[in-house]
A = this chain, B = another copy of it.
Amino acid sequence: MPARLNEFSAAEAARRIESGELTAEALAAACLERIAERDDAVRAWAFIHAKQALAEARDLDQMPRRSRLHGVPFGVKDIIDTESLPTEYGSPIYRGHQPRADAACVALLRRAGCLLLGKTVTTEFANNHPSPTRNPHDPRHTPGGSSSGSAAAVADCMVPLALGTQTGGSVIRPAAYCGAFAVKPSFGSINRQGTKFVAESLDTIGIFSRTPEDLALALEVLSSRPAPDFAAFAGKPRIGLCRTPRWQDADAATQANLEEAATRLSKAGAAVGDFELPAGSEALFERHKIIMGFESARALAWEYANFPEQISTTLKPRLDEAWQVTRAEYDAVRETARQCRRALADRMREVDFLLTPSAPSEAPRSLASTGDPVFNRAWTLFGLPCVTVPHGKGAHGLPLGVQLVGPFDGDAALLGWAHWADAALGAGG
Contact = CB atoms under 8 A, between A and B. Distances in A.
Nearest to A225: B327
Nearest to A298: B191
Most chain B CB atoms below 10 A, which of A224, A294, A303: A224
A301 interface: yes
A341 to B, nearest CB: 11
A305 B188 CA distance: 22
A337 to B, nearest CB: 12
A104 B197 CA distance: 10
A101 B302 contact: yes
Interface in A318-373: 326-327, 330-331, 334
A295 interface: yes
A40 interface: no
B305 A110 contact: yes
A97 to B, nearest CB: 5
A266 to B, nearest CB: 32
A200 B201 CA distance: 11
Contact of A107 (B94, B201, B225, B302): B302
Contact of A94 (B100, B111, B226, B305): B100
Nearest to A101: B302
A163 to B, nearest CB: 14
Interface in A234-274: none
A138 interface: no
A38 interface: no
B188 A197 contact: no
B102 A100 contact: no
Given A193-B200, A197-B192, A298 B100 contact: no
A223 interface: yes
Nearest to A330: B224
A120 to B, nearest CB: 20
B192 A301 contact: no
A106 B305 CA distance: 12
A68 interface: no
Identify the 7 closest CB pairs spanning chains A and B, nearest first.
A107-B301, A191-B298, A107-B302, A193-B299, A224-B327, A102-B302, A193-B197
22 contacts: A83-B302, A101-B302, A102-B301, A102-B302, A103-B302, A104-B299, A104-B301, A104-B302, A106-B302, A110-B305, A111-B301, A188-B334, A191-B197, A191-B299, A191-B301, A193-B196, A193-B298, A193-B301, A224-B294, A224-B327, A224-B330, A225-B327
